[in-house]
Amino acid sequence: MGLLHHRWPAIWALASAVTCCSGCAILTTNRTSKPDPAPPAAKVKYRYYQKYIHGHSYPILSVDTLEAKLQLAILNTRAQKELGLILVVPVEFVKIHPPDRKPDFEVWLSVKPKRPGLIFEPYEVLYANTNQTGLAPSVVKAWTHNHWKGEDEYLRGDSLQHMSIKKRTYFQLDYDVDANPEIRFQLSMEGLSASEIPIELPPLTFGPAGIKHCELYFLIFGG
């Protein structure tokens, strides 16, 4: 009995040194807008894949012409929580926390020239649904990435009109429309030309889709 009594401090110290983690894993379905299969067009290739933007996975439509390569995504995701699991396990501290996203209707677009003389008018990317037609973006942001400095360089003012695209340029186009991903809509990629010859692309149609993923939240106690 005396031996057990003398061991209690050591046993308590060992128990106190064990760090436990309590948390939950939440299965989430992100409702977002996904491009429909595009209609065939002469000398135009389409490809579909997933890409992480702002920490979320979005369906990407890649449009490849002889003059330029475009990548397009709709940043209007809304999350639907489905399931939570409570876990208590002895592990090291880990935290995975998804960034917050406001439910704006944003179009993410990159334009990469393949030939000289590429001109792009971002205000001529027009939105249309059953209630609205020919709606231009209310806000346009554009930037290029400086690989030497490792930072983005934003373009401003008059440089956002009749833009001469000499290297890959990124755009965020905001529209004053309902960001509900259940609404079907079209985007018309007008204002794209090469050597003063318009590049004609058929309207791109987007519809609702669900992307499932898991969010993990942890809280440390003990130690």
pLDDT, averaged across the chain: 75
**Is residue 204 within 8 Å of 61, Cβ to Cβ?**
yes
Q: pLDDT by residue (tens digit) across 152-162?
A: 888 887 778 88
Flag whether pLDDT at 17 surpasses 50: no
| Residue 81: predicted pLDDT | 52
Per-residue exposure over 186-208, b if at least 16 CB sit within 10 Å of its own CB, e if not: ebbbbbbbbeeeebebeebbbee
- 57 pLDDT tier (thresholds 50, 70, 90): confident
Percent of the chain scored above 90 by pLDDT? 33
| Residue 90: predicted pLDDT | 42
**Range of lowest pLDDT (98-102, 151-155, 172-176):** 98-102
> Which one has a higher pLDDT value, 111 or 11?
111
Q: What is the DSSP letter of 169?
A: E
Stretch 74-94: mean pLDDT, rounded? 54
Flag whether pLDDT at 171 surpasses 90: yes
| Residue 216: predicted pLDDT | 59
> Which one has a higher pLDDT value, 221 or 75?
75
| Residue 4: predicted pLDDT | 44
Beta strands in the chain (DSSP E): 19-35, 45-53, 56-64, 68-74, 78-89, 106-113, 118-120, 125-128, 139-146, 151-155, 163-164, 169-174, 185-189, 192-194, 197-198, 204-222
Flag whether pLDDT at 11 surpasses 80: no
Per-residue exposure over 41-70, b if at least 16 CB sit within 10 Å of its own CB, e if not: eeebeeeeeeeeeeebebbbbbbbbebbbb
Q: pLDDT by residue (tens digit) across 111-122?
A: 999 999 999 999
Flag whether pLDDT at 12 surpasses 60: no
Q: pLDDT by residue (tens digit) across 180-197?
A: 888 999 999 989 999 889
Instruction: Find the helix or strand (DSSP H, E) in which 5 lies.
Output: helix 2-17
| Residue 132: predicted pLDDT | 77
Give the integer Cα–Cα distance in Å for 89 and 164. Answer: 56
Stretch 109-138: mean pLDDT, rounded? 92
Residue 207's nearest CA partner among 171, 181, 188 is 181
**Range of lowest pLDDT (55-59, 90-94, 157-161):** 90-94
